[in-house]
Amino acid sequence: MSYVIPIGPYHPALEEPVHVKLYTDGEFVDDAKVYIGYNNRGIEKLAQEKNFIQTITLVERVCGICSHSHSLAYCLAIENIAELEVPKRGSYIRVIICELERLHSHFLLLGLAAHIIGFDSAFMYTFSAREKVMEALETLTGNRVNYAMNIIGGARRDIDKEGLKNLLMIIEELKEPYERIIDIFGRDKTVALRTKGVGKLTYDEAWIYGLSGPHGRASGLKCDTRKIDPYCSYEDFNFNMVVQKDGDVFSRVLVRLLEIGESIRIITQAAENMPDTPINLGVKIPRVPAGEYCTRIEAPRGELTYYVVTDGSQGNRRVNIHVPTFRNAASVPAMLKGNTVADAGLIVASIDPCFSCLDR
């Protein structure tokens, strides 16, 4: 018997609105269609009517998880058009916030994956580790969601010696729960049964969909923008690009798990070697000539691109935002084929989608 099973746009396993139509044969998925756009807030259009300073605040609200990545990508685009060179300390502070954001995003996905699998004690353990990261972000920036740490020309706020010491202490405290989470996900039979061989995507499929971030790297793509096209002084830090080859849900979980370790290394290096320079260029209202620039940065979920066009006025001609989920969500039908309906929620969640980001 064949059925068409709708999932979403409001579904208990997925926290954000997306609609997936599953075309099934019995309990196996033959084909699927993804419908997006339930959360469009017209942010790109609004950006056309804002000046450069207002736009930073606006784009930071595209997403509640990777808010810093959005404002950073926008600032980098404007700085490149205006030919502004950010002082090293400003770049290092941006890197620290980027990596803390990656930590809490990856912990979030690991927790949600555990919850969907039905392993709620792992969910709680992961979220208690995530809470330490949230505390660090709150201490450094004053906020848990929109950090407001970027301005055009550098970082808005400094991190003093005491702050850096405190950060290193929190990072040290994180190591023990992190080891335990690796142990849980690496050894547990339930996790393995629910994730290994499920929702597979080959290297060739990943390439043709143009996948990015942990989702692409789980299928063998070497696509970490921090490594291949460094920005914000990422070239100063010693870390590895985590790549797996199996392309299943387990690989996606594993990539994120190992990337947490790499982010910890980056934060430690940045905090220990913080340069003694100004944090920004002191630009209040930037003079931006007519120009265009395409920025790409490695947000927690993958490659985030901002195409910004200016026309010499005080506002944007165009701000075109493409988030990692724009790339990764298109691959969902290919991942679902041949899998069971019961695994559909987990497979969709394994790309770590952010539909709020995607719809902007």
Q: Is 232 annotated as a binding residue?
A: no
Reduce the DSSP state of residue 295 to 3 states and report it: strand
- Regarding 223 and contact with another protein (CB under 8 A), the answer is yes
Interface positions, 114-153, toward another protein (CB under 8 A): none
Residue 28 in the binding site for another protein (CB under 8 A): no
Question: Under the criterion CB under 8 A, does residue 289 sit at the interface with another protein?
Answer: no
Complex with another protein: residue 112 or 297, whichever CB lies closer? 297
Among 1, 12, 83, 235, interactor with another protein by CB under 8 A: 83
Q: Is 207 in the site for another protein (CB under 8 A)?
A: yes
Binding of residue 52 to another protein (CB under 8 A): no
Distance between CA atoms of residues 169 and 290, nearest Å: 45
- Residue 303 binds to another protein (criterion: CB under 8 A): yes
Q: Does 167 bind another protein (CB under 8 A)?
A: no
Shortest distance, position 33 Cβ to another protein, whole Å: 8
**What is the dihedral sign for C-alpha 290, 292, 297, 301?**
positive
Q: 293 φ, ψ to 5°? A: -155, 140
Smallest gap from Cβ 1 to another protein, in A, equals 26
Q: 357: annotated binding-site residue?
A: yes
Q: Which of 115, 156, 317, 337 binds another protein (CB under 8 A)?
A: 317
Q: Is residue 355 at the binding interface for another protein, with CB under 8 A as the rule?
A: no
Under rule CB under 8 A, residue 204 binds another protein:
no
Q: Is 322 in the site for another protein (CB under 8 A)?
A: yes
How many whole angstroms separate alpha carbon 17 and alpha carbon 255? Answer: 25
Cα separation, 86 vs 208, whole angstroms: 35
Q: Are strands 28-35 and 150-151 parallel, antiparallel or unpaired?
A: unpaired
Interaction between residue 37 and another protein (CB under 8 A)? yes
Contact 353, 329 (CB under 8 A): yes
Q: Does 337 sit near another protein (CB under 8 A)? A: no
Applying CB under 8 A, among 124, 193, 208, 285 the residue interacting with another protein is 208
User: CA-to-CA distance for 360 and 323, rounded, in angstroms?
Assistant: 9
Q: Which residues contact 50 (CB under 8 A, 6 or more apart)?
A: 58, 315, 316
- Which run of H or E residues covers position 207? helix 203-208
98 is in an annotated binding site: no
Asked if residue 306 lies in contact with residue 320, where contact means CB atoms within 8 angstroms, the answer is yes
Q: Is 210 in the site for another protein (CB under 8 A)?
A: yes
Is residue 301 within 8 Å of 63, Cβ to Cβ?
no
Nearest to 112 by CA among 188, 194, 14, 186: 14
Q: Which of 259, 229, 234 is nearest to 244 (CA)?
A: 259
Annotated binding site: 44, 63, 66, 321, 354, 357
Interface ranges with another protein (CB under 8 A) = 33, 35-37, 40, 44-46, 48-49, 79-80, 83-85, 207-210, 223, 228-229, 231, 291-294, 296, 303, 305, 307, 309, 311, 317-318, 320, 322, 326-327, 330-331, 334, 359
